[in-house]
Each structure stands twice: as C-alpha cells, then as structure tokens.
Chains A and B, each alone.
Chain A
C-alpha cells in the first residue's frame, strides 16, 4: 500500500522566514495533493501535482514534484502567522482514494 512520510513532523519559524516541508512516497506518485488544516476545521486544498518535475505556485507557497515522482516539497516564502496550521500531503492510490501523510504542524511566531 502507498505510504507517505512527511518531514519534519513539526516546525516553528519566525515570521518572515522561509521554510520547506517534504513528502516522500514509497511508490511512484500519480497524483500528489497538498492540503492545509487549521485546528478544529476541515482541509483546504492548496495544490495538485501530476507530472514529474512539475512546479506550481500560489501566493507565497510553491509545491514541486521531483522527476522520479516519489518526492514532493512545499516551500513557503516569507512566512506569516496566517500560514500556521497542519500541512498534509495526499497521494492517489488504487481505487482513486487519497492516502495522507501524518502531517506537518507549522507554527509561525510573530
């Protein structure tokens, strides 16, 4: 079965700093999704990557999928307190359901 490992598990940064969250798969990724979850709320879709080498950006968040399609990274530039939350990567598995990593808890200190 698909297994996704996220690192780090938690991250505390000072406002304005850049940061990167990684998601590594045990199998080739055919669809990689990044979501953000705030405490007590549902998941908000951020980005979807499908092709090897693909890179997408939205505001200050950039996500990349490596050429081998087994690793993805999420990079936040000039972090703000509003970026705080849990970031989860999800991957397509057989049956078209998403399997999620354990999540990365991000804290941004003002």
Chain B
C-alpha cells in the first residue's frame, strides 16, 4: 500500500509567484492535515480537511494561503505571492478516523523562496 504521497519534493519559487503543493493521502483515508516546519522549529498545524470540507483552519495565515481537498484528486495547499518567510518544509498527513487514529505523514515538500 502506498503511503502519503507529496509532490513535488522540492519547489523553488521567486518572490511573488504562486506555490502549489499536492498531497495524496493513504488509500481509504478521508482526513488530511497540513503542517509547516520552519528551520530550527517544530511542526506547526495549519489546516485539517475532510473531503470537500475545511474542518479546522485555525493554523492558516489569514492571507495568501488556502487549502482544498476535492471529492476527486489530491489535497492542494496553495500559497499566493510567496515571500521569503514562506520557505519551509510543508508536510501532509492523513488518517482514517477522526480521533485516536495515528497520522501517516508524507515526506514533505521543501519550498524555497528566492
């Protein structure tokens, strides 16, 4: 069984461009979470989605960031007009159930803004 697949692994964008990060959860998992890991910092929660619904976006910056998990296809984390401070590793995780179900993490997308 394939685990959580994230692509691309590495993404370089110039300031002002858009970044699109994709995440395909484990087959059968309908809960998707996005986390951001800044250099020398821990994992910070960004957003929790189920199919076609945003459940908790309390960790998302108010502007430029958006996430979706459509009925068909991968979950997308979109960052508009990137700035240098957006450079980080972005991890996607999925789970089968809502509670007490371990999260399965992808290998992350490393975004570098030049």
A residues at B contact (CB < 8 Å): 31, 33, 35, 40-45, 48, 50, 88, 90, 92, 95-103
CB-based A-B contact count at 8 angstroms: 57
**19 A/B residue pairs, CB under 8 Å, sorted by A:** A31-B99, A42-B105, A42-B106, A42-B107, A43-B43, A43-B105, A45-B102, A48-B100, A48-B102, A50-B100, A88-B42, A90-B103, A95-B48, A96-B99, A98-B45, A100-B35, A102-B41, A102-B42, A103-B42
B104 touches A45 (CB 8 A): yes
B58 touches A95 (CB 8 A): yes
Q: Which residues of B contact A45 (CB under 8 A)?
A: 102-105
Interface residues on B, range: 20 to 34
Q: Which residues of B contact A90 (CB under 8 A)?
A: 43, 103
Instruction: Specify the chain A residue showing the minimal Cβ separation from B44.
Output: A100
A92 touches B107 (CB 8 A): no
Q: Which residues of A contact B41 (CB under 8 A)?
A: 102
Taking each of B48, B98, B105, B106, which has the highest tally of chain A beta carbons within 10 Å of its own beta carbon?
A: B105
B25 at the interface (CB under 8 A from A): no
Instruction: Specify the chain A residue showing the minimal Cβ separation from B47.
Output: A97
B90 CB, min distance to chain A CBs, angstroms: 11
A42 touches B98 (CB 8 A): no
Q: In the complex the two chains form, what is the Cα distance from A92 to B95 in whole Å?
A: 13
Q: Mark B100-114, 1 if CB is under 8 A from A, else 0.
A: 101111111010000
Q: In the complex the two chains form, what is the Cα distance from A86 to B111 in whole Å?
A: 20
Q: In the complex the two chains form, what is the Cα distance from A46 to B112 in whole Å?
A: 30
User: Beyond A88-B42, A103-B42, is A41–B99 a contact (Cβ under 8 Å)?
Assistant: no
A42 touches B108 (CB 8 A): yes
B59 CB, min distance to chain A CBs, angstroms: 8
Closest 5 CB pairs between A and B? A42-B105, A43-B105, A102-B42, A42-B107, A95-B56
